[in-house]
Structure 1
Amino acid sequence: MADFESGTAQKLLQSFMQFKKKGWHNKKIAGFNPSEFRVLATIQRCANDKNTEMKVSEISQILEVTPPTITQIVNILEKDCLVERTVDQEDRRAVKIKLTPAGMEATQSARKAFGETFLGLIDYLGVEESEQLAVLLSKVHDYFNQESHQ
């Protein structure tokens, strides 16, 4: 097993710390924080796949966050007129969420901006190194998701 003080271990730690310092995981995407973007994109993707409305619990399951967290985000998006709530006609206790036309347009714009960021990275690294990075990041994810590393 490698020594933590080794150059490689320190380089890995330094690389991870650079991402954290830059706050890249909190950067806005076309004016939305990452959580808002994920909710909008999830509603849009599911609307395209099956129907135009989703329950908070469905969004919560897909994004693997609690329903109260999704409700808070939906409240913000509703205030900005990007989503709207409707009462489920089959179950009057259930509320469904759907994108408004402005929400659909904003989501498409944000998706485009998000995609352009990664296309720019591919241009910067090249296709081969981008493929290698994708494989390595998947392995890093798998490593940190193992029970022994939580």
Structure 2
Amino acid sequence: MADFESGTAQKLLQSFMQLKKTGWHNKKIAGFNPSEFRVLVTIQRYANEKNTEMKVSEISQLLQVTPPTITQIVNILEKDSLIERTVDPEDRRAVKIKLTRAGIEATESARKAFGDTFLELIDYLGEDESEQLAGLLSRVHDYFNQISHQ
């Protein structure tokens, strides 16, 4: 096993710390915070795949976030007229959520902005280095996932 004080270990640690400091994963995407973006995309994907509306509990399960957290995000998105709630005709206690026309347009715009960021990264790194990075990050994920289950 390599010595932690080795140059490679220190470079790796420094790289992870620098990446985290950029806050890239917390930046707004087309005006949405990452949580709002994830909820919008989840509702859109579900609507496209299942051709139906979603319940808060379903969004919660898919995103592995508590229902109260999802409810807070849904409240914000509803206030901004991006989603609407309707009572489920089959179960009057259940509330269904769907994107409004404005919500669909905003989600598409945000998805495009998000995708463009990665396309620009590929342009910056080049195709080969981007493929290498994707492979290495996948292996890093596998490694940390493996040691967290030991």
Q: Which TM-score applies when normalising by structure 2?
A: 0.95
Pair 1:73-2:97 in alignment: no
The offset of 1:52, in angstroms, is 3.5
Read off the aligned partner of 2:100 and give its amino acid letter: T
Read off the aligned partner of 2:13 and give its amino acid letter: L
Read off the aligned partner of 2:33 and give its amino acid letter: N
Q: What residue number does 2:12 align with?
A: 12
**Cα deviations by residue, 1:42-65 (Å, 9 ceiling, x for unpaired):** 111111111241111111111111
Pair 1:101-2:101 in alignment: yes
Structure 1 range deviating more: 111-120 or 134-143: 134-143
- Whole-angstrom distance in 2 between the partners of 1:6 and 1:43: 47
Name the SS for the 1:85 alignment partner.
strand
- Whole-angstrom distance in 2 between the partners of 1:67 and 1:121: 34
- Whole-angstrom distance in 1 between the partners of 2:31 and 2:97: 21
Question: Which runs of no fewer than 5 residues in structure 1 stay unpaired?
Answer: none
Name the SS for the 1:93 alignment partner.
strand
Q: How many residues align?
A: 150
Name the SS for the 1:54 alignment partner.
coil
Q: What residue number does 1:40 align with?
A: 40
- Whole-angstrom distance in 2 between the partners of 1:62 and 1:128: 33
> Sequence identity of aligned pairs in percent?
87
The offset of 1:94, in angstroms, is 1.0
Read off the aligned partner of 1:33 and give its amino acid letter: N
- Whole-angstrom distance in 2 between the partners of 1:126 and 1:14: 23
Q: Which TM-score applies when normalising by structure 1?
A: 0.95
- Whole-angstrom distance in 2 between the partners of 1:148 and 1:77: 34
Read off the aligned partner of 2:65 and give its amino acid letter: V
Q: What residue number does 2:115 align with?
A: 115
Read off the aligned partner of 1:145 and give its amino acid letter: N
Contact 1:82 1:103 in 2 (8 A): yes
Q: CA RMSD in A?
A: 1.3
- Whole-angstrom distance in 2 between the partners of 1:147 and 1:93: 43
- Whole-angstrom distance in 2 between the partners of 1:19 and 1:148: 21
Read off the aligned partner of 1:8 and give its amino acid letter: T
- Whole-angstrom distance in 1 between the partners of 2:148 and 2:44: 36
Pair 1:49-2:49 in alignment: yes
The offset of 1:149, in angstroms, is 6.6
